[in-house]
Amino acid sequence: MLNDPPQKSRRRLLRRKLTAAERTLWGKLRGYRLAGHRFHRQTSIENYVVDFYCAEKKLILEIDGSVHLFYGKPESDRTRQQHLEKLGFRVLRFTNEEVKNSIEIVLSKILAELD
């Protein structure tokens, strides 16, 4: 279920091509920096690759750019989130702008979900 070997090259590519918002958030999450919780980036769960994942709390963080507003993405994001929630994961979604302009608010929402 986690980190399916056929998706390994895709996960690596996504790790190398983090968006600015993903890089900013990863700087706050990596190395147990957020209240001692370990996060992984670009983890595959079944056929999805999620942006950030805390295994201990089964918490997924998704950072959405403007592409998520168009071309049927809102519907596919909703379907994806519902499927992950049926598997027992919790999903928090933030926009690039939220991460860029309000990182402290984003971190407080994540901390609240971790508690």
- In 3D, which of 20, 24, 39 has the Cα closest to residue 111? 39
Average of pLDDT values for 96-106?
A: 96
CA–CA distance from 68 to each of 20, 56, 63, 93, 115 (Å)?
Answer: 16, 28, 10, 11, 28
CATH number belonging to domain 5-114: 3.40.960.10
**Dihedral through CA 46, CA 80, CA 89, CA 43, nearest 10?**
50
34 or 69, which is more confident = 34
Single-letter code of the amino acid located at 76: S
pLDDT tens, 4-31?
676 677 667 776 778 899 999 999 999 8
Average of pLDDT values for 45-50?
A: 90
Q: pTM of the entire structure?
A: 0.85
d(CA 115, CA 111): 6
pLDDT tens, 103-115?
999 999 999 999 8
Single-letter code of the amino acid located at 21: A
